[in-house]
Amino acid sequence: PPTYSLMLSQYEGVATQTVRLADIIVGFIDPNAPDEIAAPINPKLAEAAAEIENEVEEEAEEGEGASEEEETLETGPDPEEAARRFDSLSKTFVQVQKGMAEKGADDPKVMKLRKKLADEFMELKLSPKMFDMLITQIRRSLTDIRNVEKQVMLLCVRDSGMPRKDFISTFPSNETNLSWLDKHIRAKRKHSAHLAKLREEIEAQQKKLMGVEELTHLSIAGIKEINR
């Protein structure tokens, strides 16, 4: 959802003319378009094509310095089609948010809406600028995750005496599982009592990770996978 929020907020700038449509998308993708299959190359045709290409290049070199008025103007995506698609994306996004708040992300109807939202998003050909913005957003989430994980490790390993290998082997995939700490406390090892004393601080960090998952509607593992 933060991805969609960013896209939609950027598109709002198109109406106020503070953002160019071409800075968000450069076109549309037809999911039903057949994949292009390269035709077998005929040697004679290839040779003829090469000769034509050379002639075109020579003419282009001779024409350098021609009037700028002859340059082809760059065109962007159809504004009306973009408006239709972003309107649909916005409505589906609202439905997803409402469904997740009421029924949770794993509800069958919500999952169907999420797929619809993803499909609509995938039909937009992002501009390099928009793509970079989305990647930056995901990397910020990953940075937040790593900072919190580091704090949890310091509390468990440095301050409580948990063996580092135990932490590394058990914490991944349990980042937001509050019962993970209980298991180590119940183990009654040398560091268990220290972990119990720091329970509140450790769980506070885990809840920060839960907040990241709620904000992105992605698991911690999912966010890490996207960044690979």
Q: How many domains in the chain? A: 2
- Specify the 3-state DSSP secondary structure of 25: strand
Residues 120 and 161 in one domain: no
Residues 83 and 16 in one domain: yes
Which residue range forms the structural domain that includes residue 20?
1-27+77-126
Say if CB 220 and CB 198 are below 8 A apart: no
Q: How far apart are CA 138 and CA 68, in angstroms?
A: 41
- Take residue 131 and report the two structure tokens written for it: 């793509």
Per-residue pLDDT of the chain (228 residues; tens, 9 = 90+): 678 888 999 999 998 999 999 999 999 998 777 655 444 545 544 555 555 455 545 555 555 554 444 443 446 799 999 999 999 999 999 998 899 889 887 789 988 998 999 899 999 999 999 999 988 888 888 999 999 999 999 999 999 999 999 999 999 999 999 999 999 999 999 999 999 999 999 999 999 999 888 777 778 888 888 776
What is the Cα Rg of the chain in Å?
27
Residue 61 lies in a domain: no
User: Global pTM?
Assistant: 0.63
Residues 220 and 151 in one domain: yes
Residue 68 lies in a domain: no
Residues 111 and 187 in one domain: no
